[in-house]
Structures are given as C-alpha cells and as structure tokens.
Structure 1
Amino acid sequence: MAERTKARTRAARVRIDVQHAPVAEPRRRPKNRKAQIAAVAAEAFSERGYHGVSIDEIATTVGISGPALYRHFPNKYALFLHAATGLATSLEDAIARDAESAAASPAERLDQQIVAAIRTTVANRKTAGLYRWESRYLEPADRAIIRAAITSVNRRMGETLARMRPGLTEQDDFQICVAVLSVVGSVTAHRAHLPTRRLEQLLLDACRAVARTELPLHDAPAHRPPAPAGIASSNKREVLLHEAIRLFHARGYHEVSIEEIGSAAGINASGVYRHFASKSDLLSAAFHRAAERLAVAVGTALAGSTTPRDALRSLVEVYVHLSFGQSELMSVYFAEIGSLPEAQRTELRNVQRLNVEEWSRLLNEVRADLSVVECRFLVHAALNLVLDVGRVMHFEPAPANEARVRALMLATLFGSASGA
C-alpha cells in the first residue's frame, strides 16, 4: 500500500514538472542578419580578395547555410558590390554630413573634413581598403559608382583647400587632396595599433603637413620624342615574367590565365611550365623581384648617407624613382599579395615588414617626439601615397612629377611642409 502511494506521488510530481517545463522559444532570424553577412564578407574580401573567398565560407562564418545567405544576396558578386560601394559611399557621406560652419575658417573646415575621413576609415579599418584594389573586379558601371563617390570626396576637400590656399593651381589642389586621402587610407594597409585618439591626432598632423606642402613647379610642357622600344630580352623566363606582371597589373591575377601569359610572350602553355611550375610561381617571382629591387635601393641609400635624416631623404628619392620606373611591378607587389598561397604570403609579408621597420628606425632617430609605432604609421602613409599620387600622374617619369611625390612623402614623414 505504501509503495503504491509513493508511486502515485512520483507520477503527480512528474505531471507537475511537465506542466511547468519552459516551452522552447522558436528560433528567430536576427534582424541585422543582412548586415552581419555584409560585414563578414567585406572583411574576407579585404583580407583575401574577391576570388579568394567563397559563399560557403562566408555563410559558415556567419553561422548559417548557403541557401539562407542567398535569401539576402543572390550571389557572391552582389555581396562584393555591396561591400565595395558601401565603403566608398560611407566616406562620401561622412564628408557631406560634416556641414560647413559659417564661423569656421578654411583651415578649420579642412581639419573637420580630414577628421571625418579619419574616423570613418578607422571605424572600417579592416575593410576600408577594399575599393582600392579589388574594385577592378566590378562591372564598369558599378566601378563608376565608386569612382564618383571618391571624386565627390576629393572635390569637397579640394574646394576647402582652394579657399585655404588660393594660389594653388587646380592640378596642385587635386594632387594634394589625393595625397591627404592616401595618408588617411594607409591605415588599411597594415595592422599596427595605437589608441584611437592618438591615431587621429597623428594622421591629422601628417595630413596638415601634406596640405601645406609647396609642390615644385611643373616643367614647361615640351614635345617629348617617343621612348625607344629597346632591345627585347631573349631570356624566355624574363619575357614570361615581364608579360605576367603587365597582365596582372592590367586585369588582376585571377583574370589572367597561363595560356594568355604564354601567348603574350610568344610561348605555348606547355612551354610556360618549363620555366614556372604554376601561375602562382609567376606571381611569387614578381614579388621577389620587387623585394630584391627594394632591398638594393635601401642598401644604396644607406651606404651613401651620414645621418638618419640624409638616409631617409635618399630612401625617399630611390623609392620614388623605382616606383615611377617600375610602376606595374610595384603595383602588383602591393595589390596581389592576398593571391599568393599562405606560406608564400607570410614570407613576403615578413619581407615587407622588415623594409618598413628599417624606415621606421631611421625616422625614430630623427623624430624623438614619436614612438617607434607612430613612426611605423607615418612610414606606411608615406609609402602609400606614392602609388596613389603616382597613379593620378599616370606614373609619367618626368623629373617634376617625382619631385612632387618626394615633397609629399617628406612632409608626411618629417611633419612639415618643407620636409626640413
């Protein structure tokens, strides 16, 4: 009898527990799922390039299936377009939102615009450089949208700079604005860290110095006879490397095939493999070529200098000259590192890092007011503007063009318009 009573009591307790058991909430899709997907995709595209990222990888990182991702974006290109255009237009919006104060002087106004650009770029640091290299994989009409956004930012900033420095020519104004935005954007090219407030001030000071730079006068336009074609190399390996660099620069590594490289070099595909085991070996060879030439340039500059300041001036001169003389090679060197296999990518990033450290050490000896990390930021900024300003000059190897880029680099590094 007692056992029967205990059994009834246990059964009653079970019924009570079941009645009061919490009912599982139905799983709801986060309201910001699309934004989550876009953020993950933008970071992945920035890190490894458009072709190095798959839809499945993005979906897995977000924690959803591929079909679930397609409810928000129809394909990888749509994701890429969203990321690339969003980053460019966010910069345009940041400058436009900073409404002009009637009481602000042109110099104050320019500071406001620069700070707005810095804060937007730093807030999106992991992804803000995406449009710079990867936008070449966009359709022409979509690429034009990004170009229009960046042009708008340049125009707004240029109008303010023209009021601050009314004697500037339109060309000077444009080139200085490109350099200012390049200094800001340089933080997307590396992962050095500074407290946010200090980083803002460091970049603002560098941009102010660039904005006040007195650019050397352009030479009077003169008819230049076409450069001689030169004698073609008979070394098939060198010919292949030359044509690969040219095609990688023009269209991007992933858009070029081994067959196209061989055809440009006058060699069939099987002949290419006698010199390079794969397309990635061609790219790796291009990287090592650039790294070797940079190493020689650094060695030459240091050997002929007696002070850290002189060494930096020499480094600036040889680096600019190399960049203008080998613009396709240097562009590939900075644009395509994400296309290399991981082991080679790590090795070459270490080579790039050592080069920056050499510059930073010298700058720290010149500018005792800065830490080594702060010097590293300025070195990245100075190197970055060479490619950006050089591109708007079409890397025309005129002495005045190189002198202008040198002046902008020295202002960035030394923190004064004269670079003294």
Structure 2
Amino acid sequence: MARTAPSGKGPRTGDKRPRDRKTQLAAVAAELFRARGYHGVGINDIAAAAGITGPALYRHFKDKQAILAHVLRAGLEEIEEATGAASLAGAHPSPDQLNTLLTELAGKSVERRDAAALWRWEGRHLDAETQRDLRERSGAMLATWTKVLLRVRPELPPEDAELLCWAVLSVFGSVSVHRTSVPKRRFEQLLVDIATRVLRAGLPTGSAPSGPDAPATGIPHAAASDAAASGAVPPGGVTSGAVASGATGTPDLAAGAVGAGPASEPLTTPSRREQILTEATELFASHGFSAVSMDDIGRAAGIAGPSVYRHFPSKASLLGAIGRRAGDRLLLGAEDALRSDGEWPALHRLAESYVATLTGQPELLVSFSVDRVHIDERDRPELLRIQREYVSRWVRLLEAARPELDTREAKITVHAALTVANDLTRTRRVNRRPNLPAELLTLMSTVLGAGGRDTAPARQSSTPDVAGQDGRSGYTGR
C-alpha cells in the first residue's frame, strides 16, 4: 500500500537536511581532528558526532582526507577573499586599505581558530597534489602582501619585506596555538596592533654574530621541510603543537648552558643514555619522527637497536626526554633573564635565550614539530605544566612592563611573539638568512611592544604609518 503523506505543509521533519550540510560536517570533523589528531579520528567517529551514519557521510566526502582538504581550502579561500577585498591593486595603497586587510585577517583568525590549528598540524596528511596546491596559493597570496608592503616601504630590500609578511602571517596564525580569549573586537584590535608594529619594524643590519656562542642558523631539519610541506603557515612551537600535546619539559640538561652553541670539548664523556638521546634528537630533526626506527637510533649511538630499550622503552619515551631537555634549557634561560634590572631588559634577555635555544640545539624544534599523538600520555601532564610555567614567566614580565594589558591580553601577545620565532625558524623561505637570530630577537621585541627600548642596530627608515594608526597595544617606536 502506498505511504500517505503526513498532513501539513512542507517535508516531513525526518527528511529535512540542513542547508550546506557539507560545511557542517566539515566543521564537526575539524573539531574532532583538533581534539584527537587526524589519525585518532575515523569516519564513523565523524558521522556519530554529526548524528548520521558512516555511509551517509560518504555522500558528501569520499574519505577522511577529502574532509581535511575541504576544511583547509575553505580557510585559505577566506584569507584570499580578505586580501582581495582590501583593494590593494593600486600603485600606492593607503594606510586605510592596509588597515582593512589586517582587520579582515584578524577577524578570520579569531573566527576560525580551529581551522588555523589544522592548517598547522594536520596539513601533512593531505595528498601531494593538494599540498602543492595549498603551497602555491598561499605563496601567491604572500607575494601579494610583499609587493604591497614594498610600495608602502620602498626602502626595504624585497627579502626583508617578505620576512615581515611571513611574521605577520605568524601573528595571525598564533591564535591557533592557545585557547586564551578576550572579547572579539578587542582580540581583533590586539592582533591588528601587533601586525602593524611588525610591518613597521626595522630589521637589524650587519652580519650574524660569530664565535662559539653564536646560534646556528639555516636549520637543515625535517622540521623545516615539514613546515613548508604543510603550507604557508608552519607549525608553532613552545606555545603549540607538541606543547599543546605537552612536549616542552624539565629535568635532564645534557649540553651546558642555555643558548650555547655546540661545545668544542665536552667536560666529561656523556652517559650512554645521553648519547642515545642526542642521536635520537638529531635523527628526528633530520628525517622526521616516523621515519626513524629504534635500530636507526642504536646504530647512530654505536649500539644494537634492542639495546636502546634498556634506556628508553619506546620512541614516545624518547620524545618525552627530548621535551624535558628542551624545557630545561628554556627554564634556565628564564631564571637568568629574571636577574636583569627592570622588566624590559629581562624580556630582552628572555627573548635572547629563547632564540639561542631555538636556533642552536635541535631539541626545541623536535619537541614541537612532532604530532601530539606520538607523545606518551604519561609525559603529557608534566610537559604541559612546564610549558605553562615557562609562558607564565613571559606573561608576568610583560604585564609589569605594559600595565595597560590585562593578563589575557599579555598572554595572547606572548604567544604571538613565540610563534613568530618558531614559525620563521621552521620556514625554508627565510630560515637560512645569515642574520636570522638577530632578526628574530628584533621581531619578538616588536611583537611584545618594546618599541625604541630595543638596542639592536636597525636600518634607518622613515617607517611610514603602515596602517594609519600608532597601535593601541603600546608601540612607542617610530
């Protein structure tokens, strides 16, 4: 017998499908990917969270990878649209046009924090063609920003303008590495103020420091290539990623003072455990975590692969130890910085120690370059505690130096400064610059709002009013 249609107008409730179902499903998947990692989520998990069956999900996406690609493409399209909406095609873009662009980008960043996090951490799971497409499109967008900045600041060398644009991209991307929030308009204005200061920044001149204490630059690590492979926004660091997963820790200093370059002669022969840890760090940095086996680590340390297990039960436990070693370096640097006379000198020394650690020994790069699913769950609470302790030292200093910022605003600013340094160190387009450590220090100080208080030598320029405002977040230098 034929089914009788229910009385009343319109389709039955059970037949209704929400408008733009594909976008809604992608949003559900994005939240799950962010919470559990790409490999920790299955199609059935996404379907269950969306209230549908697995087969129903396949009507919209052919597989999980297609869902991730949809999320990331949508995020990039919004940034492209914001760039186009600012009408930057003229020969002389006005400060208002640039301010419009920065405001649009800030708004998208605040609204799409989850998408930005996925862009950073899960882009590596896309197929090669999609990764290439995202790289090319994001590269073209960044090239547009660079051309605009050169029209506003013609005194800049093109490579310096590009560096500043990468730094601005990291400022907006930094919202994905933490969950601190303030009212939306204030959040957006804070990001615009920071980005404006960055676009005005004068980069240091002269050659990079030399000698045994000079940090290494031009990191030839898999960490850097992974960043480039996942698109224009490489992963962030001590404030993100493995940090969010807990990979910045404490005990186990193995290689001297914070920020020191490779020691010429060790005072004592390192223990077998320390040898294994050092070799594992180098291998993870050069080849990536997944590509390295325990046999590889044993071979590099001069022992049989199974012997490694006497010291570390798994690769995950090695990551925990690497994170603790990185944390030791950072916390020791923080203790030294706090001996400075005044908040701004202390912040400057804290930034110096961070840059030295980041560009010197590879532990810090490794600890925040590895997917959080690889971190041993037993290590995560301790490492997360250490990360929070380290960031809180920055925040307390910045609150004292800039009393107009409340704690949440100071925390957002600190995360932006750390993320700029992390990202640029990992980005192949810029991480081989010979003066990178000094440039990172200048950019971190600029993000924090140090203004003219930074004594690093800088190019003399008129530093025009890039966004038509002085930046309410406290910038004093011109």
- What band does the TM-score fall into relative to the shorter chain? 0.7 to 0.9
Provide the C-alpha distance between the structure 1 equivalents of 2:262 and 2:90, rounded to a whole number of angstroms.
56
- TM value normalised by structure 2: 0.74
Q: Does 1:173 align with 2:208?
A: no
- 1:182 is aligned to 170
User: What are the residue-to-residue correspondences of 1:107-186 with 2, within 5 Å?
Assistant: 107-186=95-174
Q: Does 1:347 align with 2:335?
A: no
User: What are the residue-to-residue correspondences of 1:302-317 with 2, within 5 Å?
Assistant: 302-303=338-339, 305-317=340-352
Provide the C-alpha distance between the structure 1 equivalents of 2:302 and 2:62, rounded to a whole number of angstroms.
41
- 1:70 is aligned to 58
For structure 2, the 5+ residue unaligned runs are 1-5, 211-215, 217-260, 455-476
Secondary structure of the residue aligned to 1:276 is: coil
Provide the C-alpha distance between the structure 1 equivalents of 2:190 and 2:144, rounded to a whole number of angstroms.
22
- 1:289 is aligned to 325
Asked if the contact 1:109/1:160 (under 8 Å) is kept, the reply is: no
- 1:402 is aligned to 437
User: What are the residue-to-residue correspondences of 1:321-336 with 2, within 5 Å?
Assistant: 321-326=356-361, 328-336=362-370
Asked if the contact 1:360/1:375 (under 8 Å) is kept, the reply is: yes
Question: CA distance change for structure 1 residues 302 and 83 in 2, over 3 Å: closer, same or farther?
Answer: same
User: What are the residue-to-residue correspondences of 1:12-51 with 2, within 5 Å?
Assistant: 25-51=13-39
Offset at residue 297 of structure 1 (A): 0.9
Q: Deviations over 1:162-201 (max 9, x none)?
A: 1111100011101111111111111111000111111111
Asked if the contact 1:213/1:418 (under 8 Å) is kept, the reply is: no
Secondary structure of the residue aligned to 1:128 is: helix
Question: CA distance change for structure 1 residues 317 and 231 in 2, over 3 Å: closer, same or farther?
Answer: closer
Residue in structure 1 matching 2:392, options 357, 360, 364: 357
Provide the C-alpha distance between the structure 1 equivalents of 2:17 and 2:398, rounded to a whole number of angstroms.
52
Q: Does 1:389 align with 2:389?
A: no
Counterpart AA for 1:147: R
Asked if the contact 1:244/1:261 (under 8 Å) is kept, the reply is: yes
Secondary structure of the residue aligned to 2:116 is: coil
Offset at residue 302 of structure 1 (A): 1.4
Asked if the contact 2:88/2:148 (under 8 Å) is kept, the reply is: no
Offset at residue 410 of structure 1 (A): 0.7
Q: Does 1:318 align with 2:318?
A: no
Provide the C-alpha distance between the structure 2 equivalents of 1:100 and 1:353, rounded to a whole number of angstroms.
40
Question: CA distance change for structure 1 residues 229 and 56 in 2, over 3 Å: closer, same or farther?
Answer: farther
Counterpart AA for 1:272: V
Asked if the contact 2:47/2:54 (under 8 Å) is kept, the reply is: yes
Provide the C-alpha distance between the structure 2 equivalents of 1:186 and 1:272, rounded to a whole number of angstroms.
37
Asked if the contact 2:322/2:363 (under 8 Å) is kept, the reply is: yes
Provide the C-alpha distance between the structure 2 equivalents of 1:141 and 1:268, rounded to a whole number of angstroms.
39
Q: Does 1:380 align with 2:368?
A: no
Q: Does 1:214 align with 2:214?
A: no
Offset at residue 260 of structure 1 (A): 4.3
Q: Deviations over 1:20-60 (max 9, x none)?
A: 99997544443433222211222332344322322232222
Asked if the contact 1:45/1:52 (under 8 Å) is kept, the reply is: yes
Provide the C-alpha distance between the structure 1 equivalents of 2:307 and 2:328, rounded to a whole number of angstroms.
26
Offset at residue 415 of structure 1 (A): 5.5
Instruction: Give the number of the structure whose alpha-carbon radius of gyration is greater.
Output: 1
Counterpart AA for 2:325: R
Counterpart AA for 1:62: A
Q: Deviations over 1:133-167 (max 9, x none)?
A: 33233333322222122212211211121111110
Aligned length: 397
- 2:247 is aligned to none
Q: Once the two structures are aligned, what percentage of the paired residues are identical? A: 38
Provide the C-alpha distance between the structure 2 equivalents of 1:316 and 1:206, rounded to a whole number of angstroms.
17
Asked if the contact 2:326/2:364 (under 8 Å) is kept, the reply is: yes
Question: Using CA pairs below 8 Å that are at least 6 residues apart, which structure has the higher relative contact order?
Answer: 2
Q: Does 1:245 align with 2:281?
A: yes
- 2:71 is aligned to 83
Provide the C-alpha distance between the structure 2 equivalents of 1:363 and 1:229, rounded to a whole number of angstroms.
33
- TM value normalised by structure 1: 0.84
- 1:9 is aligned to none
Question: CA distance change for structure 1 residues 44 and 418 in 2, over 3 Å: closer, same or farther?
Answer: farther
> Please, what is the CA RMSD of the aligned residues?
3.3
Counterpart AA for 2:370: E
Q: Comparing both structures, which one devotes a greater share of its residues to helix? A: 1
- 1:276 is aligned to 312
Question: CA distance change for structure 1 residues 228 and 316 in 2, over 3 Å: closer, same or farther?
Answer: closer
- 2:474 is aligned to none
Counterpart AA for 1:115: T
Offset at residue 132 of structure 1 (A): 2.3
